[in-house]
């Protein structure tokens, strides 16, 4: 991908010069075999979360809620899927053959057209206040006692610095991985022996214990200590980050950055990660929306489906909740630059995997896609649904000493028709 940025002035002013005309051919054979350790981890019953975030706001018309032949429908057709009666846009031919593994929600109303507010609402399930992200909550309640990797990993090239854990412990905050590159300074210095590193860690633990009791020191010490622990986990698994994808994987997933990120996401999940978020940048299509989506979805469609296939083939689909989502959708009205602008009033997304009933379509928009016409929900309902599917009661309180804070918005509830 040449476009790996968010919404800036230039995105609103310039158009794309050229686009990819179509997607790669059908899926190839599955790659990779689980090691005994990976197999044991899968048999443990641990649940996990995969978030595929299409940054910028993908168009519902060009994905999961097509309206061909209508005033705002655009040039693309709708195609049949593996679920009788469920139609999606022709730009997603690989997903169309796999919709019996996924479900669609077409009736999300976020009531905002702002990138930041939409993203925060979709992550927190609340549109005001400091609350933890979906990934941080899942990391806290799903991670095993002694995880082999940081529990919430976000593969992105953007410099996001969100306070994802809010009031939860520091170890549940997202750790950003810079695309598929290993973080800097991951290797232990040559002059530092294993024994010296162990003694240094013991000394640090003693100092932490001594100073953690002071006023205001506990949270600071916890954050400081957590950074060391996450670094140690990454150091012990640095081979995952440094390994070049095989030729077979690059052929199946694509050699572009998003393909490589999804190969890494698969490998992290197979090796003990609890939450993995992978971002595909560049959906803020204020100009040439149709060319943009032709290219963007041509890249996304096969790559995501290879990841979905591999998760299923390695036995993880029933224990991995998969989200394909964005911060909002795109306007029905097509502007003078053949673009669609920000739109939060009728958003779509896809869900699948752990606890989700496959092949379901929830909600609908009216004939021209200008508003929700059936089963309106918002990000608060989605948040409840995610955790109900993962076996966590969203109406319960967070496990935070001295505080009574419900996991999900008490005014919202799960989308029952999506739950197994």
Predicted local distance difference test score (pLDDT) of residue 26: 34
Q: Which domain holds residue 261?
A: 37-181+237-418
The angle subtended at Cα 134 by Cα 129 and Cα 136, nearest 5°, is 90
Give CA–CA dist 346/93, Å, rounded. Answer: 23
Count of structural domains within the chain: 1
Predicted local distance difference test score (pLDDT) of residue 76: 98
We report the CATH number of the domain holding residue 407 as 3.40.720
- Crossing angle of helices 217-236/194-211, nearest 10°? 160
Structural domain includes residue 203: no
> Which region among 129-138, 169-178, 209-218 has the lowest average model confidence (pLDDT)?
209-218
Strands (DSSP E) found in 247-290: 275-280
> Which region among 106-115, 177-186, 277-286 has the lowest average model confidence (pLDDT)?
177-186
Residue 316 has pLDDT above 70, yes or no: yes
Structural domain includes residue 64: yes
> Which region among 48-52, 173-177, 213-217 has the lowest average model confidence (pLDDT)?
213-217
Structural domain includes residue 231: no
Q: Residues 379, 108: contact at Cβ < 8 Å?
A: yes
Structural domain includes residue 18: no
Structural domain includes residue 207: no
| Residue 52, beta-bridge partner list | 278, 324
Those residues with Cβ within 8 angstroms of residue 81's Cβ, 6 or more apart along the chain or in another chain: 87, 88, 95, 96, 97, 99, 100
Structural domain includes residue 1: no
Predicted local distance difference test score (pLDDT) of residue 219: 55
Give CA–CA dist 300/258, Å, rounded. Answer: 8
pTM of the complete model: 0.85
Structural domain includes residue 210: no
User: What SS3 state is found at 15?
Assistant: coil
CA dist list (Å): 142 to 37, 89, 275, 276: 19, 35, 9, 13
pLDDT band at 25 (very low <50, low <70, confident <90, very high): very low
pLDDT band at 192 (very low <50, low <70, confident <90, very high): low
Structural domain includes residue 45: yes
Predicted local distance difference test score (pLDDT) of residue 257: 95
Q: Which residue from 338, 257, 373, 350 is spatially nearest to 51, judged by alpha carbons?
A: 350
Predicted local distance difference test score (pLDDT) of residue 35: 62
Question: Taking the alpha carbons of 406, 417, 94, 252 in that order, is the dihedral positive or negative?
Answer: positive
Percent of the chain scoring above 90 in pLDDT: 68
> Which region among 232-241, 379-388, 402-411 has the lowest average model confidence (pLDDT)?
232-241
Give CA–CA dist 369/410, Å, rounded. Answer: 30
């Amino acid at each position: 991908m040449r476009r790996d940025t968010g919404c800036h002035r230039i995105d609103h002013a310039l158009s794309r010069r050229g686009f990819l005309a179509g997607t790669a051919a059908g899926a190839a054979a599955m790659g990779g075999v689980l090691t005994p350790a990976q197999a044991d981890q899968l048999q443990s019953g641990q649940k996990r979360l995969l978030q595929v975030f299409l940054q910028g706001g993908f168009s519902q018309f060009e994905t999961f809620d097509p309206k061909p032949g209508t005033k705002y429908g655009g040039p693309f057709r709708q195609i049949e899927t593996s679920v009788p009666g469920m139609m999606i846009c022709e730009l997603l031919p690989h997903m169309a053959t796999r919709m019996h593994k996924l479900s669609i929600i077409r009736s999300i109303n976020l009531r905002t057209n702002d990138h930041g507010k939409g993203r925060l609402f979709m992550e927190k399930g609340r549109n005001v206040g400091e609350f933890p992200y979906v990934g941080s909550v899942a990391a806290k309640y799903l991670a095993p006692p002694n995880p082999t990797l940081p529990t919430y990993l976000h593969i992105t090239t953007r410099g996001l610095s969100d306070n994802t854990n809010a009031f939860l412990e520091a170890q549940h905050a997202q750790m950003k991985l810079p695309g598929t590159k290993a973080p800097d300074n991951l290797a232990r210095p040559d002059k530092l022996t294993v024994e010296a590193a162990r003694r240094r860690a013991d000394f640090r633990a003693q100092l932490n214990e001594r100073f953690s009791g002071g006023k205001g020191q506990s949270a600071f010490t916890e954050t400081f200590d957590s950074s060391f622990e996450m670094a140690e986990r990454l150091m012990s698994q640095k081979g995952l980050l440094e390994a070049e994808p095989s030729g077979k994987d690059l052929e199946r997933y694509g050699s572009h950055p998003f393909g490589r990120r999804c190969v890494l996401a698969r490998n992290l999940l197979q090796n003990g990660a609890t939450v993995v978020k992978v971002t595909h940048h560049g959906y803020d299509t204020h100009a040439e929306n149709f060319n943009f989506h032709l290219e963007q979805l041509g890249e996304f469609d096969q790559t995501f489906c290879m990841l979905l296939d591999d998760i299923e083939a390695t036995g993880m689909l029933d224990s991995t909740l998969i989200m394909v989502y964005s911060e909002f959708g795109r306007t029905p009205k097509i502007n003078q630059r053949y673009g669609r602008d920000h739109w939060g009033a009728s958003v779509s997304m896809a869900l699948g995997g752990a606890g989700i009933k496959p092949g379901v379509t929830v909600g609908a928009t009216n004939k021209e896609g200008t508003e929700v016409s059936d089963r309106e929900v918002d990000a608060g309902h989605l948040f409840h649904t995610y955790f109900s599917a993962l076996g966590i009661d969203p109406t319960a309180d967070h496990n935070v000493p001295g505080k009574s804070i419900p996991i999900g918005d008490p005014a919202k509830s799960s989308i029952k028709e999506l739950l197994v």
